[in-house]
Protein backbone atom coordinates (compact mmCIF):
# COMPACT_ATOMS: atom_id res chain seq x y z
CA UNK A 1 0.00 0.00 0.00
CA UNK A 2 2.80 2.40 0.95
CA UNK A 3 4.61 1.69 -2.33
CA UNK A 4 1.41 2.31 -4.29
CA UNK A 5 0.81 5.68 -2.59
CA UNK A 6 4.42 6.67 -3.24
CA UNK A 7 4.07 5.88 -6.94
CA UNK A 8 0.91 8.00 -7.14
CA UNK A 9 2.61 10.90 -5.35
CA UNK A 10 5.59 10.77 -7.73
CA UNK A 11 3.25 10.65 -10.72
CA UNK A 12 1.30 13.67 -9.47
CA UNK A 13 4.52 15.58 -8.82
CA UNK A 14 5.81 14.78 -12.30
CA UNK A 15 2.50 15.86 -13.79
CA UNK A 16 2.60 19.18 -11.92
CA UNK A 17 6.19 19.84 -12.96
CA UNK A 18 5.40 19.01 -16.58
CA UNK A 19 2.44 21.37 -16.48
CA UNK A 20 4.62 24.15 -15.07
CA UNK A 21 7.18 23.61 -17.82
CA UNK A 22 4.55 23.68 -20.55
CA UNK A 23 3.12 26.90 -19.12
CA UNK A 24 6.52 28.54 -18.84
CA UNK A 25 7.17 29.36 -22.50
CA UNK A 26 6.15 32.80 -23.73
CA UNK A 27 4.31 33.75 -20.57
CA UNK A 28 4.98 36.30 -17.86
CA UNK A 29 4.82 35.72 -14.14
CA UNK A 30 2.82 38.08 -11.95
CA UNK A 31 6.10 39.52 -10.68
CA UNK A 32 7.32 40.21 -14.23
CA UNK A 33 4.06 41.92 -15.10
CA UNK A 34 4.36 44.12 -12.01
CA UNK A 35 7.92 44.99 -13.07
CA UNK A 36 6.65 46.20 -16.44
CA UNK A 37 7.69 43.33 -18.70
CA UNK A 38 5.72 42.71 -21.88
CA UNK A 39 5.95 39.81 -24.31
CA UNK A 40 7.21 40.40 -27.84
CA UNK A 41 6.30 36.89 -28.99
CA UNK A 42 3.02 35.21 -28.08
CA UNK A 43 4.05 31.67 -29.05
CA UNK A 44 1.42 31.43 -31.79
CA UNK A 45 2.35 33.87 -34.56
CA UNK A 46 4.56 36.82 -35.48
CA UNK A 47 2.17 39.53 -34.31
CA UNK A 48 4.15 42.62 -33.31
CA UNK A 49 6.89 42.00 -35.90
CA UNK A 50 7.45 42.80 -39.56
CA UNK A 51 10.15 42.33 -42.15
CA UNK A 52 12.69 45.15 -42.27
CA UNK A 53 11.45 47.63 -44.83
CA UNK A 54 7.90 47.67 -43.49
CA UNK A 55 6.87 44.44 -45.20
CA UNK A 56 4.99 41.41 -43.82
CA UNK A 57 7.06 38.73 -42.10
CA UNK A 58 8.31 36.24 -44.69
CA UNK A 59 7.05 32.67 -44.83
CA UNK A 60 10.45 31.30 -43.78
CA UNK A 61 9.78 32.56 -40.26
CA UNK A 62 7.66 29.86 -38.67
CA UNK A 63 6.24 29.01 -35.26
CA UNK A 64 6.55 25.50 -33.85
CA UNK A 65 6.17 24.15 -30.32
CA UNK A 66 6.03 27.68 -28.86
CA UNK A 67 9.20 28.94 -30.54
CA UNK A 68 9.95 31.10 -33.58
CA UNK A 69 12.46 29.82 -36.10
CA UNK A 70 13.86 30.22 -39.60
CA UNK A 71 13.07 27.45 -42.07
CA UNK A 72 16.14 27.47 -44.32
CA UNK A 73 14.34 25.49 -47.04
CA UNK A 74 12.18 28.58 -47.64
CA UNK A 75 13.87 31.62 -49.19
CA UNK A 76 11.15 34.04 -48.13
CA UNK A 77 12.93 35.13 -44.94
CA UNK A 78 14.91 38.26 -44.16
CA UNK A 79 15.55 40.16 -40.95
CA UNK A 80 12.47 40.92 -38.87
CA UNK A 81 12.01 43.87 -36.51
CA UNK A 82 9.60 44.94 -33.80
CA UNK A 83 6.67 47.13 -34.72
CA UNK A 84 7.55 49.42 -31.82
CA UNK A 85 10.69 51.42 -31.11
CA UNK A 86 12.57 51.41 -27.82
CA UNK A 87 14.95 53.84 -26.12
CA UNK A 88 15.85 52.79 -22.56
CA UNK A 89 15.01 49.12 -22.16
CA UNK A 90 15.77 45.69 -20.76
CA UNK A 91 15.35 42.98 -23.40
CA UNK A 92 15.53 39.22 -22.90
CA UNK A 93 15.30 36.29 -25.29
CA UNK A 94 16.21 32.63 -25.39
CA UNK A 95 17.95 31.47 -28.56
CA UNK A 96 19.07 28.15 -30.02
CA UNK A 97 21.42 28.02 -32.99
CA UNK A 98 21.97 25.22 -35.49
CA UNK A 99 25.34 23.52 -35.98
CA UNK A 100 27.76 25.94 -37.67
CA UNK A 101 25.03 28.57 -37.44
CA UNK A 102 25.17 32.36 -37.25
CA UNK A 103 22.52 34.94 -36.38
CA UNK A 104 22.14 38.01 -34.21
CA UNK A 105 19.97 40.36 -32.20
CA UNK A 106 20.15 43.92 -33.52
CA UNK A 107 18.88 46.98 -31.65
CA UNK A 108 18.46 50.73 -32.11
CA UNK A 109 17.48 50.01 -35.71
CA UNK A 110 16.38 53.07 -37.65
CA UNK A 111 14.06 51.71 -40.32
CA UNK A 112 14.42 53.85 -43.42
CA UNK A 113 15.03 51.82 -46.59
CA UNK A 114 15.59 55.01 -48.58
CA UNK A 115 18.83 55.43 -46.63
CA UNK A 116 19.67 52.01 -45.16
CA UNK A 117 19.20 48.70 -46.91
CA UNK A 118 19.97 46.57 -43.85
CA UNK A 119 19.23 46.79 -40.11
CA UNK A 120 22.92 46.50 -39.22
CA UNK A 121 23.68 49.74 -41.02
CA UNK A 122 22.18 51.57 -38.05
CA UNK A 123 21.86 49.01 -35.25
CA UNK A 124 24.62 47.27 -33.26
CA UNK A 125 24.34 43.50 -32.90
CA UNK A 126 24.58 41.02 -30.06
CA UNK A 127 26.07 37.97 -31.73
CA UNK A 128 24.32 34.59 -31.89
CA UNK A 129 26.77 31.91 -32.98
CA UNK A 130 27.94 28.33 -32.86
CA UNK A 131 31.35 29.24 -31.43
CA UNK A 132 32.87 25.92 -32.43
CA UNK A 133 31.67 25.35 -35.97
CA UNK A 134 30.69 28.72 -37.45
CA UNK A 135 33.06 30.36 -39.91
CA UNK A 136 32.78 33.72 -38.17
CA UNK A 137 34.48 32.56 -34.96
CA UNK A 138 38.01 33.81 -35.56
CA UNK A 139 37.81 37.06 -33.57
CA UNK A 140 37.01 37.46 -29.90
CA UNK A 141 34.37 40.11 -30.55
CA UNK A 142 32.61 37.91 -33.11
CA UNK A 143 31.57 35.04 -30.83
CA UNK A 144 28.27 34.44 -29.05
CA UNK A 145 27.16 37.14 -26.62
CA UNK A 146 29.58 39.81 -27.83
CA UNK A 147 28.79 43.16 -29.38
CA UNK A 148 29.67 42.21 -32.92
CA UNK A 149 33.04 43.54 -34.13
CA UNK A 150 33.12 46.04 -31.28
CA UNK A 151 33.40 44.54 -27.79
CA UNK A 152 33.64 41.18 -26.03
CA UNK A 153 36.02 38.25 -25.92
CA UNK A 154 36.36 34.47 -26.04
CA UNK A 155 36.80 34.43 -22.26
CA UNK A 156 33.30 35.74 -21.51
CA UNK A 157 31.48 33.87 -24.29
CA UNK A 158 30.00 30.74 -22.73
CA UNK A 159 27.17 29.49 -24.96
CA UNK A 160 25.56 26.16 -24.20
CA UNK A 161 26.02 23.10 -26.47
CA UNK A 162 24.22 23.01 -29.81
CA UNK A 163 20.60 22.04 -29.24
CA UNK A 164 20.35 23.79 -25.86
CA UNK A 165 18.68 27.12 -25.22
CA UNK A 166 20.74 30.19 -24.29
CA UNK A 167 19.45 33.20 -22.38
CA UNK A 168 20.51 36.57 -23.79
CA UNK A 169 19.86 39.98 -22.28
CA UNK A 170 20.43 43.47 -23.63
CA UNK A 171 20.06 46.30 -21.14
CA UNK A 172 20.55 49.93 -22.11
CA UNK A 173 19.72 53.02 -20.11
CA UNK A 174 20.91 56.50 -21.07
CA UNK A 175 23.72 55.04 -23.17
CA UNK A 176 24.99 52.56 -20.55
CA UNK A 177 24.91 49.22 -22.39
CA UNK A 178 25.22 45.79 -20.77
CA UNK A 179 24.98 42.46 -22.55
CA UNK A 180 24.52 39.15 -20.76
CA UNK A 181 24.72 35.57 -22.01
CA UNK A 182 23.52 32.86 -19.66
CA UNK A 183 23.97 35.21 -16.72
CA UNK A 184 27.50 36.30 -17.65
CA UNK A 185 28.05 40.03 -18.27
CA UNK A 186 29.79 39.80 -21.66
CA UNK A 187 29.89 43.51 -22.51
CA UNK A 188 29.62 46.67 -20.39
CA UNK A 189 30.28 49.95 -22.19
CA UNK A 190 28.99 53.47 -22.71
CA UNK A 191 27.56 54.37 -26.08
CA UNK A 192 28.09 57.64 -27.90
CA UNK A 193 31.13 58.89 -25.97
CA UNK A 194 34.68 59.41 -27.32
CA UNK A 195 35.74 55.85 -26.52
CA UNK A 196 32.71 54.51 -28.36
CA UNK A 197 33.47 56.60 -31.42
CA UNK A 198 37.02 55.23 -31.42
CA UNK A 199 35.68 51.69 -31.25
CA UNK A 200 33.39 52.28 -34.21
CA UNK A 201 36.22 53.93 -36.16
CA UNK A 202 38.26 50.75 -35.74
CA UNK A 203 35.47 48.41 -36.80
CA UNK A 204 33.83 47.32 -40.05
CA UNK A 205 31.10 49.89 -39.36
CA UNK A 206 33.42 52.90 -39.64
CA UNK A 207 32.10 53.98 -43.05
CA UNK A 208 28.43 53.56 -42.11
CA UNK A 209 27.49 57.11 -41.18
CA UNK A 210 24.22 56.12 -39.54
CA UNK A 211 25.63 53.30 -37.43
CA UNK A 212 24.42 53.54 -33.82
CA UNK A 213 23.68 57.24 -34.13
CA UNK A 214 20.00 56.79 -33.31
CA UNK A 215 19.17 56.60 -29.61
CA UNK A 216 15.78 55.04 -30.20
CA UNK A 217 14.88 52.25 -32.57
CA UNK A 218 13.52 48.81 -33.31
CA UNK A 219 14.88 45.47 -32.18
CA UNK A 220 15.58 42.89 -34.88
CA UNK A 221 16.20 39.17 -35.28
CA UNK A 222 18.64 38.34 -38.01
CA UNK A 223 18.22 35.87 -40.87
CA UNK A 224 21.82 34.92 -41.65
CA UNK A 225 20.85 31.93 -43.77
CA UNK A 226 21.12 29.42 -40.90
CA UNK A 227 18.39 27.85 -38.81
CA UNK A 228 17.95 29.68 -35.52
CA UNK A 229 15.16 29.58 -32.96
CA UNK A 230 13.87 32.16 -30.47
CA UNK A 231 11.40 32.01 -27.59
CA UNK A 232 10.45 33.87 -24.40
CA UNK A 233 11.08 37.22 -26.09
CA UNK A 234 10.24 40.00 -23.66
CA UNK A 235 11.06 43.61 -22.87
CA UNK A 236 10.47 46.31 -20.32
CA UNK A 237 10.98 50.02 -20.79
CA UNK A 238 13.32 51.65 -18.29
Q: How do residues 154-181 score in pLDDT, each as one tens digit?
A: 999 999 999 999 999 999 999 999 999 9
The yes-or-no verdict on residue 23 having pLDDT over 90 is no
155 within domain boundaries: yes
As for how many domains the chain has, the answer is 1
Domain annotation covers residue 6: no
CATH number, position 83: 2.60.120.560
Domain residues for the domain of 100 are 27-237
Report if residue 109 sits inside a domain. yes
What CA–CA distance (Å, rounded) separates 182 from 121? 27
Q: What is the pLDDT of residues 123-163, one digit of tens each?
A: 999 999 999 999 999 999 999 999 999 999 999 999 999 99
Q: Specify if 19 maps to a domain.
A: no
pLDDT at site 213: 97
Tell me, what's the pLDDT at 17? 38
10 Å CB burial of residue 123 (0-12, 13-18, 19+) is: buried
For the chain, give the percent of residues with pLDDT over 90. Answer: 89
Q: Answer whether residue 144 is part of any domain.
A: yes
Instruction: Evaluate whether residue 8 is within a structural domain.
Output: no
DSSP conformation class of 158: -
Percent of the chain with pLDDT over 70: 90
Distance in angstroms (rounded) separating the CA atoms of residues 144 and 103: 9
Confidence of residue 24 (pLDDT cuts 50, 70, 90): low
Position 12 in a domain: no
Residue 11 has pLDDT above 70, yes or no: no
| Residues 68-113: tens digit of each pLDDT | 999 999 999 999 999 999 999 999 999 999 999 999 999 999 999 9
**Cβ atoms of 108 and 81 closer than 8 Å:** no
Kindly report the pTM of this predicted structure.
0.89
Mean pLDDT, the chain, as a whole number? 92
Q: What's the pLDDT at 8? A: 39
| 50-60 mean pLDDT | 97
In a domain, 90, yes or no: yes
Amino acid sequence: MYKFVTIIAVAVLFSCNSSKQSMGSNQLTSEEKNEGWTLLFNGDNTKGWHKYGNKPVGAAWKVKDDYLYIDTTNRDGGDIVTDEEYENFDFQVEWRISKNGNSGIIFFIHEDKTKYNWPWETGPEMQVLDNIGAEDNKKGNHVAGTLYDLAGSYEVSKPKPIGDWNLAEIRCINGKLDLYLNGVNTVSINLWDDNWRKMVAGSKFRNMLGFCTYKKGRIGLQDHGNEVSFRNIKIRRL
